[in-house]
């Protein structure tokens, strides 16, 4: 069955890349902010390393979130700029994957895919009694 369908083609951002870049930027900002911390100004019981770790955690997760939001906004704006096309579609109304594969192979070979050929093609490539073949009855070939 052949039909025409409408498709929309658009660019879409990779969310993982944007979220990864956001997390990396959050880590870099945490590192820069840690350089400006005065150790004497820290409350009792806290060290610069503890403060840097907390800052690193918060800003990395925040950067991850902001990167995802930026990717989402770019995806929404990309939907408005999508181009619509009408294309020919070939729809197979067969559920059996073997039948679909048989029809595609027949089309690729230039044959009629609707021809009913239930028998497999003859293959002369099989040679019985080769050294690599195992016996079909399940017994060992060594005779033990």
User: What is the SS3 assignment for 127?
Assistant: coil
CB 8 within 8 A of CB 83: yes
pLDDT tens, per residue, the chain with 144 residues: 567 778 888 888 899 999 999 999 999 999 998 888 777 777 777 788 888 888 899 999 999 999 999 999 999 988 888 888 888 877 656 567 788 888 889 888 888 877 765 555 555 544 454 455 555 555 555 554
* Whether this model's pTM surpasses 0.95: no
What gap in Å lies between CA 22 and CA 72, rounded to an integer?
A: 13
């Amino acid at each position: 069955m052949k039909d025409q369908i409408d498709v929309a083609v658009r660019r879409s951002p990779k969310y993982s890349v944007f979220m990864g870049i956001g997390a990396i930027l959050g880590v870099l900002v945490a590192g820069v902010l840690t350089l400006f911390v005065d150790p004497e100004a820290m409350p009792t019981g806290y060290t610069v390393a503890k403060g840097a770790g907390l800052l690193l955690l918060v800003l990395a997760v925040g950067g991850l979130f902001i990167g995802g939001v930026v990717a989402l906004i770019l995806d929404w704006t990309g939907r408005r700029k999508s181009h619509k096309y009408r294309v020919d579609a070939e729809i197979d109304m067969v559920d059996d994957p073997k039948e679909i594969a048989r029809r595609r192979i027949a089309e690729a070979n230039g044959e009629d895919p609707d021809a009913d050929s239930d028998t497999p093609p003859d293959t002369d490539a099989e040679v019985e009694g080769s050294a690599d073949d195992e016996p079909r009855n399940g017994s060992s070939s060594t005779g033990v």
